[in-house]
Amino acid sequence: MKYRAAALGTDGIRLTMESALTARDRVGVQDFVLLENFTSEAAFIENLRKRFKENLIYTYIGSVLVSVNPYKELEIYTKPHMERYRGVSFYEVSPHLYAIADNSYRSLRTERKDQCILISGESGAGKTEATKKILQYYAVTCPVSDRVETIKDRLLQSNPILEAFGNAKTLRNDNSSRFGKYMDVQFDYKGAPVGGHILNYLLEKSRVVHQNHGERNFHIFYQLLEGGEDDLLRRLGLEKNAQQYQYLIKGQCAKVSSINDKNDWKVVRRGLSVISFNDDDVESLLSIIASVLHLGNVQFATDEQGNAQVTTENQIKYIARLLSVDGSILREALIHKKIIAKGEELNSPLNLEQAAYARDALAKAVYGRTFSWLVNKINRSLIYKEGEHPGWGSASVIGLLDIYGFEVFQHNSFEQFCINYCNEKLQQLFIELTLLSEQEEYEAEGIAWEPVQYFNNKIICDLVEEKHKGIISVLDEECLRPGDATDMTFLEKLEETVKNHPHFITHKLGDQKTRKCVGRDEFRLLHYAGEVNYNVTGFLDKNNDLLFRNLKEAMCNTENPIINQCFNRTELTDKKRPETAVTQFKNSLSQLMEILVSKEPSYIRCIKPNDAKQAGRFDEVLIRHQVKYLGLMENLRVRRAGFAYRRKYEIFLQRYKSLCPETWPVWDGRAVDGVGMLVKCLNYKPEEFKLGRTKIFIRFPKTLFATEDALEERKQSLATSIQATWRGYNQRQKFLYLKRSAILIQSWWRGTVDRRKAARRKRAVEIIRRFIKGFIYRKYPRCPENEYFLDYIRYSFLMSLRRNLPKNVLDKSWPKPPPSLTEASEYLRHMCMQNMVWKYCKRISPEWKQQLEQKVVASEIFLDKKDNYPQSVPRLFINTRLSNEEINAKVLQALDSEAIKYAVPVTKYDRRGYKARGRQLLLTQNSVVIVEDAKLKQQIDHAKLKGISVSSLSDSLFVLHVHCDDNRQKGDVVLQSDHVIETLTKIAMSAEKVNNININQSSIKFAAGPGKEGVIDFTSGSELLIAKAKNGHLSVVAPRLNSR
């Protein structure tokens, strides 16, 4: 049963029982007692359907919880959900498993009376899962300690172990409990779980040797094969393939998609270690499980005399080793039967059928007794020792009964007879306790009790268990009497003994119509839940449950410690015939009834919504069948025989007081008087209610629904009124809070501001005093009187210096230092300049460095000497004024390997007529070349260059003076360049003639040829004018750009 998952989004409107009344049209009522048509089974099932569709799987019938398996995950079992139900009154929260668990726990703590929770339903309805959830609830919500934690772990871990050994896949349920379980959880005086005890009932041992198609054997066999380590399986002589074992292939369903045997095996191994199983215990236990599988593979054949002989010796060897018995003795015990007649022992050989019966009987006995041993082992680990928990006389107990529900199959046999007999007894107890509880409540409240008519199934219980006349007695007599007793003689004896009983029918006793439905080998019982046909085939064998004596002897001689405890040697010497299976079950059931009667019961009725295990599918036929055999309608009828609804005065008044002006908003008198005033105001009729000592009883659900509807209408006006009052109150409180806060903050802030002012004035006075004293002693050597003043002067200068440092190397500004820091200031100024220069130099690129070098040379040559020099300063000198494309290729070829460092267009003036001619000046590594188109007109080596002359005016003429002894030179060269400063700087640096540049004021003389001299006269004018003068000189008039 899958119960985990997302919490219900609408859980907020379902928190209390009454809140769901307002949504009853959609989700039904959460207590069947409030159904208007409570006698209608259709109305009952429709209410279940509504709630199931809304994922509301729990519904009450008074204090009985009806649970429908959702077959999907619902997150209503988280820790917050547990806390919501913890310590809360039963009807104050929506129906839930936890409400039942918590109510039992609180009753245990407050009333000190043992409790029990009876969980019933058919296979697949969720009984086992409900038991787990209750144990988890106690594990989370109960007080803890180290010892308690250990017990909690053992209680929780006992479940997967018992499921592994006692649960199996059936057609109806993949994890069906094939045994009944009653678990006592013991609590100390603090309410902590300190121990436990488990009783098991009627394990379905026949499943060990036979399974119906589509079913499996017990889980542990498959878990061992799937999850067991290779070394373990090798020691046990097992293979991982379940198809190799006869006991596992009868149902042809070894693999199930919804079961992970490998993971379950890990859980079982972990659980065994928690419950104090050591390695030897585990090895012995698994050896027994393996021996059962090997027993199933033991095969027989007939000899010449028709006697059975073992044909699988290997299997006998495995079994002998695993159970630590003598192999030959075991072999003989499987094919012979020991008979004691007149004090003599005779070994009677068995035929094939008898040998197979003996083998299967041994397998069932070994597994069944091992299961009982396992339960006892778990009980020893859960035992409560009073000495460990002083302070309280004895532990209180909450019992959990997880027992099979009423079963009706197509073929019903001995097991279904026992199960349904158990359910008859539980139904009888259930009705009696419910009626008793109702009667006690009525008497306690002073309400007249009206006898309730109901079906008393005591007549059916007597039919089954009455001494000498009941079915059990007849069955035992047939099993014990000498002679040839068979299943059919048992049926005949039944017909003779109980033929007149109204709830017993056979083919022979029935009418013509009945005989069509009841076989000749069947009898029919009319149970409280309906008619069931039982087939008597196998009744005697299953009831006898005999194990041949020689097989018992073989088992008693085992050295396996578990088998040794399971087979007591006293069985061999005890002359008394053992009790039959049904008698043992009857006695166990009687003890269980005594246990349940001694406790305060709570009930959980589990319902399976469909056989396909599909979420959301609601099979009405199947559910109607379960509602019938669970006796839910009978229970509802008993609960509704009197009053449908009852509540304590305080709770009823608290909920509905707003419907009466006299009780709203506060009722100061007694609660009973307030309720009386309230019902009078609501116009309740006398037959609709009764007032008890502490509770009000309302007879009809429609009365409650009308009250609830009136409350819903009243809530609207109340909500508006409450909201207005609350908003006013809330805003008033906010205002008062803000006012108090403002006053507090203002007070604190004023004090803080005044304290700061006082501290600041005090510091100011001290500083001024020290400053004045320092000023008076400022010319003295450093002393305590002037150290503050001097430090301040230094600090002020340094801060001023920090703010006014030079921005670049050209910035010569520097703050004036005080006398005491003059020397330090000079050091700082020098360091600052060095640092700026270093930073500046570090940032200079090679190209910019070259530019600066040229500018420095130009400055050395022309600064304050040449009139147009200032205009050239901001202009960058470029590498060349002519590209290679502008220079004739023949010139480049003529220069050969000499690289051109600089090229510029110039104007050359002839030496004689001073005629201007366009030329190109090329500067190479070794010479200055004058070019006319493709001709090298003149090439002046740097060594032959004597100097350069230029005027001080703004003209752009210059003269290159060459040595006259060079025959290649015709004389000095007169040139004009638009970039005269740049051109002359580059020539001077390349020819290393920086110091050979002459700047003349009025005239320049130059060699016009061998023995000839030319003169250039320079005068100032308004515009530039170059022409030959009458005196034969070259006259240059240039405007003055700067005054020097």
Q: Determine the 3-state secondary structure of 316 from DSSP.
A: helix
HSE value, Cβ hemisphere, 13 Å, CA-based, for 123: 21
Q: Give dist(CA 648, CA 429) in Å, integer.
A: 28
* Angle 1028-1029-1034 from CA coordinates, rounded to 5°: 50
Q: Give dist(CA 805, CA 569) in Å, integer.
A: 114
Residues forming a β-bridge with 928 = 923, 940
Confirm whether 69 is a catalytic residue.
no
Q: Give dist(CA 379, CA 222) in Å, integer.
A: 25
Q: Give dist(CA 138, CA 144) in Å, integer.
A: 10
* Angle 793-799-802 from CA coordinates, rounded to 5°: 140
* Angle 668-670-671 from CA coordinates, rounded to 5°: 100
CB burial readout 887-904, b (16+ within 10 A) else e: beeebeeebeeeebebbb
- Cα–Cα distances in Å, from 997 out to 51, 864, 952, 965, 985? 116, 14, 12, 21, 10
Q: Which two tokens stand for residue 421?
A: 């007999």
- From the list 124, 180, 631, 1014, the catalytic residue is 124
Q: Give dist(CA 972, CA 1030) in Å, integer.
A: 22
The separation between CA 20 and the C-alpha centre of its own chain, rounded to angstroms, equals: 31
Give start and end residues of each alpha helix (H) in 777-879. 787-803, 822-843, 846-862, 869-872
Residues forming a β-bridge with 195 = 186
Confirm whether 535 is a catalytic residue.
no
Q: Is the distance from CB of 556 to CB of 330 less than 8 angstroms?
A: no
Q: Which two tokens stand for residue 461?
A: 């219980």
Residue that has been written with the tokens 């001995």 in this structure: 414
Which residue, among 981, 986, 958, has the nearest Cα to 872 in the 3D structure?
Answer: 981
Confirm whether 405 is a catalytic residue.
yes
Q: Give dist(CA 511, CA 514) in Å, integer.
A: 5
Q: Is the distance from CB of 30 to CB of 60 less than 8 angstroms?
A: yes
Confirm whether 177 is a catalytic residue.
yes
Q: Give dist(CA 811, CA 658) in Å, integer.
A: 92
Q: Is the distance from CB of 167 to CB of 128 less than 8 angstroms?
A: yes
- From the list 196, 296, 405, 470, the catalytic residue is 405
- From the list 55, 67, 69, 176, the catalytic residue is 176
Q: Is the distance from CB of 959 to CB of 1016 less than 8 angstroms?
A: yes
Confirm whether 176 is a catalytic residue.
yes
Residue 828 CB contacts under 8 Å (≥ 6 apart), including other chains: 801
**Identity at 643, one-letter amino acid code:** F
- From the list 47, 94, 123, 420, the catalytic residue is 123
**Identity at 635, one-letter amino acid code:** N
CB burial readout 169-205, b (16+ within 10 A) else e: bbbbbbbbbbbbbbbbbbbbbebbbbbbbbbbbbbbb
Q: Give dist(CA 138, CA 106) in Å, integer.
A: 12
- From the list 204, 226, 407, 478, the catalytic residue is 407
Confirm whether 956 is a catalytic residue.
no
- From the list 47, 173, 457, 952, the catalytic residue is 173
Residue that has been written with the tokens 């023949």 in this structure: 890
- From the list 177, 550, 786, 949, the catalytic residue is 177
Q: Is the dihedral of CA 756, 760, 763, 765 positive or negative?
A: negative
- From the list 47, 69, 103, 128, the catalytic residue is 128
**Identity at 855, one-letter amino acid code:** K
Q: Give dist(CA 299, CA 315) in Å, integer.
A: 9
H helix count then E strand count, the chain:
34, 31
Confirm whether 883 is a catalytic residue.
no
Give start and end residues of each alpha helix (H) in 896-998. 980-991
Q: Which two tokens stand for residue 932?
A: 């006319």
Using left for φ > 0, alpha for ψ between -120 and 50, and beta otherwise, residue 29 falls in beta
Confirm whether 173 is a catalytic residue.
yes
Q: Give dist(CA 91, CA 933) in Å, integer.
A: 119
Q: Give dist(CA 86, CA 108) in Å, integer.
A: 14
Q: Which residues are catalytic?
A: 123-124, 128, 173, 176-177, 405, 407
